[in-house]
Chain A
Amino acid sequence: MYDKTVRRRRAVLVLLVVCSLILLTAYFGESPGSPLHSVQRGFLGVVSPVQDGASRALKPVRDLFGWFGDTLDAKKQRDELQKELQSARKEAIANAAAARDNVALQKLVKLDTQIGTDQMNPVTARVITRSPTLWYSTVSINKGTSSGVKVDQPVINGDGLVGTITAASGNSSIVTLITDHTSGVSALVNESGVAGVVQPAVGNPNDLLLQYIRRGDQIAVGQNVVTAGSKSARYESLFPPGIPVGRVTKVDNQELDVYQRVHVKPFAQLRKLDIVQVLTAPQGAATP
């Protein structure tokens, strides 16, 4: 009787571990359109209404806990914003003169460099779930293919770039954040035009790395990083040009390294996403 119980217990463990390993191996080797991915999208379509309902019902609870955290953060943010306001005032004076020149130049070359996201058919969506792991990789939103959302479309919020759509079902989609380890965004420093690729520092949602910047390129702390958009017909970017990504916080310039390592703090607060926009017709980006 005892032997039978032990054998059954071990058999169940082995069976479950083997099932997990088979799923892991099969899923990892599959392309995004394959059966396991389809099952996952189907499941997402089924559970997303439940998740959406539960998310709405529990919003007051989240807000209550969020209020405590926000109050603690508010003082620190106020001090930081006061400093930013002072420097922004100085910049605004300098920018006013530059803006006049810019308008004149735009008229001359008939070039509209505005981002104009309102012309990219933005679909506003609410974040309904968040991956509980520490890798800050995905969130799900309550808009899907029925609203025109498709895989590879860029996602932004009021602060800047958030990520891309990596899976979409009827009424929900998965957004892979720019802090996911698979993410890479072609970007440039707005002030100097120096281009690189923004990658995450996995585990730290407040630090992105602008990679492949040559040592000779001049980059200063406080400069802004925006998406580069389409630069090559062969390797088109998924993102339209000019979407704010973040601000340079630190430049590592080691003597032995070929490239500089530029640290960028993302504008979007990826821990506190609530409302986002999916750009369903991103102009100047690769068509998803």
Chain B
Amino acid sequence: MKINEIIKNIPGKVIAGEEFLDKEVKTAYCGDLLSRVMAHGPQDGIWITVQTHTNIIAVATLVEIACIIVPEDIPIEANTIEKAIEEKIVLISSPLPAFQLAGKLYEIGIGKEQ
């Protein structure tokens, strides 16, 4: 499913990477410990995390994660937004908590086939 179809189903706004919303994603991962994400984060997938510092972009770039969703409207640092633009990562901010976000994504078919 394309990211722009996914965001129609969850509340939130695109903070960076507007031009990459036609990227195709199949699965997602939740986690705030960066090394866990390095080990298990999905290539071309979505990552839900409460971390907002610039290193999340480094992790996403290395694992080739297509899109990061930050839950609970947590303010995202300016450096992180800049870095996301530079590294072509879609960055989304949503008012929903991580659990609800994951549930909504799963409902529309993300991550059902691993």
Do A and B assemble together? no
